Structure 1
Amino acid sequence: MKIVRIETFHVPPRWLFVRVEADNGQLGWGEASLEGHAEAVDGALEALRDRFVGADPRRIEDIWQIGYRGGFYRGGPVLMSAISGMDQALWDLKGKHYGVPAWELLGGYVRDKVRAYAWIGGDRPDDIAEAAQKRRAQGFSAVKMNATSEMGYIGAPQFDDVIERVHAAKSAGLDVGVDFHGRLHRPMAKQLARALEPLGLLFIEEPLLSENPEAFSAFAALVSTPIAMGERLYSRWDFKRFFESGVIDIIQPDLSHAGGLTECRKIAAMAESYDIAVAPHCPLGPLALASCLQLAASSPNVVIQEMSLGIHYNEGHDLLSFCQNPDVLTPNAGYLAIPTGPGLGVEIDEAKVRAAHETRHRWRNPIWRHTDGSVAEW
């Protein structure tokens, strides 16, 4: 079997799908979405086409190694997202070729379902009480929200509104994770963490940017709330220093950014040896989520799964818009079932994808500024 075609599709609202076709007609789909940089990842996939058209798609590990190590420059969000989309598509193709789910090829499943959580509140969190009630009505038992909008390095702490929003969500009977989104710098992050400590949060996510690993130890000493991070780490080598530091409780690799199913399975296994939980980052599309569920099926330390159903980014098209079998990714009583179909278990409506690509998206995140005009973290 040989790869004969590797195609990419810019699918709204902000996704990049990868389609791999073999000479026997077998297909695999993956997702290389890197929010705001689809064009750059598409360019990186040009190099992978040169490498892998003509390769045996069943040799997933070998293809991964060449994709990562076959050039002098490696790592980072663009190159690793390209590898991720290709890798997901290969697992999808191989599973379909043998008629089994990807998790069967990874050693079999360790669970029947995984707990899911949904987003509420948007980039500048508001209407939390109403949104929390809606998620509760959908069957979710856990949600995540942004802690704040833009914040400077210092200032008079005004965290009452943050605490009020958390209380509003918890009053709906939900467990709540709070995402700092890397928006806070060390002085304010410490104060907000202290303010949130009594609230019994599910986790605090990305309280500091991952490029400041030395600050995590000091931050961790201030709170007993579990600390989650990792959506801006792109390989097991990026995660290694955080495992060794002993201050991270939950890692959040993104299967469309961190090397696909192949690499994230290895990252999860490394985390298991440090007694660290895994909660994959996934505010993306159906193929990314389906890949996450293959990881959840085969990795014992996956504890909860993010999903993008109905989030504020999904304008015009939602998580299930391009699925022919949407029930596979539809939560039930706050859980997502492990897919049992071959490959990633999701059937993509190819005609609809091709039509959407005709008016390809150019999604960009907003640029925020402080009151003094300087650029703020988004």
Structure 2
Amino acid sequence: MTIAAIRLHHLVAPLPETIGNALIFFDRRETLLVEVVDSSGLSGWGETWAAPAAAAAIIEAHLARGVLRQDPAHLGRLWRGMCDAAGSDTQGTAMTAVAALDMAMHDLAARLQGVPLSTLLGGALRDRVPAYASGPFFKPDGHPYRDFEREAEGYLRAGFRAIKLRSGFRPADDAAMAIAIRRLMGAEGTLMLDFNQSYTPRAALAAAEAMGPAGLLWIEEPASPQDLAGYHMLSGQLRPALAGGETYGSAAEFKPFLDAACMDVLQPDIAICGGLSGVGRVVALAELYDRPVVPHVWGGTVNFHAALHLVATLPAHRAGGAVPFPFLEFDAGPNPLLDLAGRPVVNGDGTVSVPTGPGLGIEIRPEVLLPHTVSRREITA
């Protein structure tokens, strides 16, 4: 079988209310779904939520011709060819375009073999993955934490046993909220926190030091992604692990932080960091340094399920929490794009089951995309 067509679905889903974090607010969810179709009509799906219109343009202008008429089983060769076609943009939008195509070809290759994506990636080590609720989110026009306790209670009722809070408003308020959620969860719950690059390292240190009673497993993006000195300063003074890397486009961007021993949890996003082929290199690098990988997950159901399969294959790391790494990030905010193949289910033990069907294990019907589609293009051989 060879690749006969590439379909680009640019989706936008308005939200019932504006939400965000300490850095940005947004009133919609947006992503690019990439459908790779083989000569028999079978489809594989990929996604990138970062700059979807620009990624679509790059696929159409630079990447498609190197993929069409090719065998999707040749994943490594095709990935290298796409990276060459991307040129020097190894950390920007071109790599998000590569990521979406690579993800789709992995899904298609697994479907052609009749196996789950996790099998194609080397085999699942677990059939259920511990998930953490990524939320609550800030809201404008009032105190941003005003609904956090109520929403966190909802996550716990839904079955989650781990929560990652958005933070970075004011150090005293940040600490008070983290401690309040810890009381709500009890001692056995797993609690993480994301500053979303909102503070200088010194301000992040002040907030984090006041959060001691919250018993955080990790603190995410306590400084800007390229601030190696800031991460290094914080790593020497904070007890929780430091996490980051969701904006990185390649494994090479993680290495300086690993060499400096100041990033404990690596968070590549499959939709940004060159797809499953690119993140596979991050996984290999992490194993050399004995660090856990917890993929950042944003966008829609395709990226979610790609991460679910990947996490199922990752080695366990014990880091003092109630359960060992790895975890799956589960976007707990309003997100119609996560419902395109049915809302993923959280089991009673706080895990998500790994699909056993071919590829991603989900089916996306064209009519489900139509209400959210703002543009659709098809590129043929």
> Do residues 196 (structure 1) and 211 (structure 2) align?
yes
> AA paired with 2:160?
F
2:331 alignment partner in structure 1: 308
Out of 283, 299, 324, the position equivalent to 2:298 is 283
1:28 alignment partner in structure 2: 44
Provide, for residues 131-187 of structure 1, a one-character-per-residue CA deviation record: whole Å limited to 9, x for no partner. 1110000000111111123xxxxxxxx533212211221122242211110010123
Out of 144, 156, 164, the position equivalent to 2:176 is 164
> AA paired with 1:307?
F
Q: Distance in 1 between matches of 2:374 and 2:205?
A: 47
1:16 alignment partner in structure 2: 32
Q: After alignment, is 176-185 or 241-250 more displaced?
A: 241-250
Deviation at 1:240, TM superposition (A): 1.5
Deviation at 1:358, TM superposition (A): 4.2
Provide, for residues 74-109 of structure 1, a one-character-per-residue CA deviation record: whole Å limited to 9, x for no partner. 312311111111011111111111110121122211
8 Å contact kept, 1:125–1:148: no
2:102 alignment partner in structure 1: 87
Residues 168 and 33 (structure 1), Cα distance of their counterparts in 2 relative to 1, 3 Å cut: same
8 Å contact kept, 1:91–1:343: yes
1:44 alignment partner in structure 2: 58
Q: Secondary structure at the match of 1:8?
A: strand
2:167 alignment partner in structure 1: 147
> AA paired with 2:253?
D
Deviation at 1:127, TM superposition (A): 1.4
> Do residues 101 (structure 1) and 116 (structure 2) align?
yes
1:262 alignment partner in structure 2: 277
Q: Whose strand proportion is higher, 1 or 2?
A: 2
Please give the TM-score of this superposition, normalised by the length of structure 1: 0.86
Q: Distance in 2 between matches of 1:107 and 1:175?
A: 29
RMSD of aligned Cα (Å): 1.7
Structure 2 counterparts to residues 53-92 of structure 1, below 5 A: 53-92=68-107
8 Å contact kept, 2:116–2:357: yes
8 Å contact kept, 2:3–2:68: yes
In structure 1, stretches of 5+ residues that fail to align are 150-157, 361-378
Provide, for residues 301-321 of structure 1, a one-character-per-residue CA deviation record: whole Å limited to 9, x for no partner. 451111124x14x2xx2512x
Deviation at 1:359, TM superposition (A): 6.9
Q: Distance in 1 between matches of 2:171 and 2:122?
A: 47
1:220 alignment partner in structure 2: 235
Deviation at 1:49, TM superposition (A): 1.3
Deviation at 1:50, TM superposition (A): 2.3
Q: After alignment, is 190-199 or 42-51 more displaced?
A: 190-199
1:364 alignment partner in structure 2: none
In structure 2, stretches of 5+ residues that fail to align are 13-28, 139-143, 317-324, 377-381
> Do residues 179 (structure 1) and 199 (structure 2) align?
no
Q: Secondary structure at the match of 2:37?
A: strand
Deviation at 1:343, TM superposition (A): 0.7
Q: Distance in 1 between matches of 2:72 and 2:235?
A: 43
Aligned length: 342
Q: Distance in 2 between matches of 1:168 and 1:261?
A: 37
> Do residues 292 (structure 1) and 292 (structure 2) align?
no
Provide, for residues 252-295 of structure 1, a one-character-per-residue CA deviation record: whole Å limited to 9, x for no partner. 11010011111212211211221111111113211001100121
2:319 alignment partner in structure 1: none
Deviation at 1:199, TM superposition (A): 2.5
8 Å contact kept, 1:285–1:308: no
8 Å contact kept, 2:128–2:354: yes
2:156 alignment partner in structure 1: 136
Residues 122 and 273 (structure 1), Cα distance of their counterparts in 2 relative to 1, 3 Å cut: same
Please give the TM-score of this superposition, normalised by the length of structure 2: 0.85
